[in-house]
Amino acid sequence: MTALVTGGASGIGEAVSRRLAAAGAKVAVVDRDAVAATKVAEEISGLAVACDVTSESALSAAFAEAESWGGRLDVVHLNAGSVGGQSGITDLDVEAYRRVVGVNVDHVVFGLNAAVPALRRAGGGTIIATASLAGLVPLPGDAIYTMTKHAVVGYVRSAAATLAPEGIRAMALCPGYADTALIAHMRDQFGDFPLLTAGDVADAVDAMLDRGEPGECWYVQPGREPGPYGFRGVPGPRTGEAPPSLSWETQHQGEHADRGARPSDEEG
């Protein structure tokens, strides 16, 4: 099995890279930090690929290199991410806005589009995009980050409907606050608030690879067993049939709700 992990040189991405390698996978560690990527790759006998994930051409080249190196591609974890750092309501920093959208949204779209042809050649596979609990519920104070993670959740759930018949699972990973470099600048603000470790999130990825279903968005919270979030169904029209574009989601809505936690479980 060959896997590719973006943001694979630190935090959650590093933990997942090491976990996959320990399970016998050949892992391509993709990261903008070439030195860190090389260090992790050497330690797990993987491939280091320095890459700006906001560039479609660079990301496509990284996927091509990984597939050529591994002979195939089976698992893709689109994990690279960036915090917003601004409310995005009255203090919009356009340059920072473009940067976080590039990493959190463009990278997932470009990555999925690069992954699909390779997974088709392998006869199927799995794509996991790291979103956040902020993709399921609002995060006060960082509307831009929340927007990008909601976008990832919506994109993955929609793409899953198209890819599932081809044996390609697309899922989203939605962890709560994890004690990684992304929150290092505000770590003291958490006090005794329980934080996830990168290993906790890697455990959830293991579970998703083992039993995840297309379109699921798995929450990860300290002290809880990770699992698929149970989205509430949207009320349909009083008369008539659902539009064809909604048919897949309509058919699977009850199944996902049954398997996942209700929104109130998260907020409690």
Catalytic annotation, residues? 145
State the DSSP code for 260.
Answer: S
Q: Cβ(54)–Cβ(74) under 8 Å?
A: no
Q: Estimate the crossing angle of helix 56-70 against helix 107-121, to 10 degrees.
A: 30
d(CA 57, CA 28): 17
Tell me how many degrees the CA angle 148-154-156 measures, rounded to the nearest 5: 100
Residue with tokens 């996942």: 260
Q: How many other C-beta atoms can be found within 10 angstroms of the C-beta atom of residue 1?
A: 16
Whole-number Å distance between alpha carbons of 109 and 60:
11
> Among residues 75, 61, 68, which one has the least CA distance to residue 2?
75
* Ordered alpha helix ranges (H), the chain: 11-22, 34-43, 56-70, 94-101, 107-121, 143-163, 198-211, 247-259, 263-267
